[in-house]
Amino acid sequence: MLEKVRKLAEKVNKYTPKSEEDLNRFRVEYLGRRGVLNGLFSSFKRVPNEQKKELGSSINNLKNLVQKKIESYKDFFEEEEIGGDVDLSKPVSLNNLGSRHPISLVRSEILDIFNRIGFTISEGPEIEDDWHNFSALNLPEEHPARDMQDTFFIQTNPDILLRTHTSSVQVRHMENTSPPIRTLSPGRVYRNEAVSARAHCIFHQVEGLYIDEKVSFADLKQALLYFAKEMFGEKTKIRLRPSYFPFTEPSAEVDIYLGTNSDSDYRITKGTGWLEILGCGMVDPNVLENCGIDPKKYSGYAFGMGIERIAMLKYGVKDLRLFFENDIRFLKQFSSL
C-alpha cells in the first residue's frame, strides 16, 4: 500500500491542469467524498498497527501535495481569467469603504458652526517657543499658572516645547494681522499627563478669537450659546461659571446641561446635571499689547475647547483612549456619518 501511495504522489507531482474544469475534476478525484484520499484513509484502518505510522504520514503528505497543487493553479486560472475572457457585465465586488475618524468629524462640525458666523481658520506649528505658548499670553516665566498645563520640552532647551494649547496660534495670528480678527485655530496639543479614560498626553483643541472695537462679554455669551445649540440641539442650556485663565479677564468656564435622568449623565455630571465643555473670557489687555494691538481701541473674546470631550459627549464614548487606539471595530461605527 505504501508503494501505491508513492506512485500516486508521483502522479500528482507530474499533473498539470489544462483548464479550470480539469483542475476541478482533479480535486473531486482526489479530495471528493468518494475520492482517492478517502479511499486510502478507509483502507488505512485495516493495515496492521506497526505499519500505521509510516503509512499515515505518507497519506497525509499526499493530501498536502494535492491541496498545494490545487491552491497554486487556482490563482493561476483566476489571474488568467482577468487577462483573457473578461466578462465586463459581472458585478464588481465592493471595496471596503473607510470611515472618517470621529475626531475629524467633530472637528469639521465645530469649524462649520463657527464658519457660519464669520470665523476663518488659522493654523500654526506644534513645536512652539516659550513666547507664543506662554509669555505673550500673560504667563511669564515662573508664573505659577504654568503648572496648569504640564509641558513637554524639546530636549533640554526650556525655550522650545510642544504646544500645550492652540492659543499659541492666536498669538501668531494677532502679531501678523490687524483687527477686526475672527479666527479659529484647530490642532493637536500636548500635555504631560498620565493617560486615563478622561485624559491623554495628546489631544485636540479648537480655540476661537474675536477682536474688534467694542466687543463685549455679551457677544461671547451669545456666540457660545449659538454654538452649544448647533452642536447639541436647540434645547441645550448653558451656564457660565467664573474661572481663571492668565490670558483672559474676566474668565469663565462653560457648562452644558445634560440633566441627571440616566445613570451615566448622573455619573459624569457628578449629580449636578451640568458638564464643563470649554474655557473662555475677555482677552487680557496685556495679551493684546504683547501682540501689537492697542487695548484702548480694541477688545476681544477668546474660548478654547477639547475636541475629544465634545466627541465623547456627542457619541456617548466613555473612554478617551479609544480615539487613539485605531481599533477598526470602534472606527467602523462612524462609517455612515
**Residues within the interface to ligand PHE (CB under 6 A):** 165, 167, 207, 245, 248, 279-281, 302-304
Question: Hey, how many other C-beta atoms are within 10 angstroms of the C-beta on 327?
Answer: 10
- Whichever of 258 and 302 has its CB closer to ligand PHE, that residue is 302
- Whichever of 280 and 288 has its CB closer to ligand PHE, that residue is 280
What residues contact 284, with CB distance under 8 A and at least 6 apart? 138, 246, 247, 248, 249
- Whichever of 12 and 201 has its CB closer to ligand PHE, that residue is 201
With residues binned 3-state (H G I as helix, E B as strand, rest as coil), the percentages for the chain, rounded to 5, are: 45, 20, 35
DSSP state of 236: -
The span from the CA of 109 to the CA of 98, in Å, is 19
- Whichever of 73 and 245 has its CB closer to ligand PHE, that residue is 245
Q: Cell triple for residue 166?
A: 492652540
Nearest approach in angstroms of CB 242 to ligand PHE is: 12
- Whichever of 58 and 138 has its CB closer to ligand PHE, that residue is 138
Nearest approach in angstroms of CB 330 to ligand PHE is: 26
Q: Are 31 and 37 in contact (CB under 8 A)?
A: yes
Nearest approach in angstroms of CB 279 to ligand PHE is: 3
Nearest approach in angstroms of CB 71 to ligand PHE is: 57
What residues contact 290, with CB distance under 8 A and at least 6 apart? 135, 136, 137, 138, 171
Write the burial class of residue 88 (CB in 10 Å: 0-12 exposed, 13-18 middle, 19+ buried): exposed
Nearest approach in angstroms of CB 154 to ligand PHE is: 19
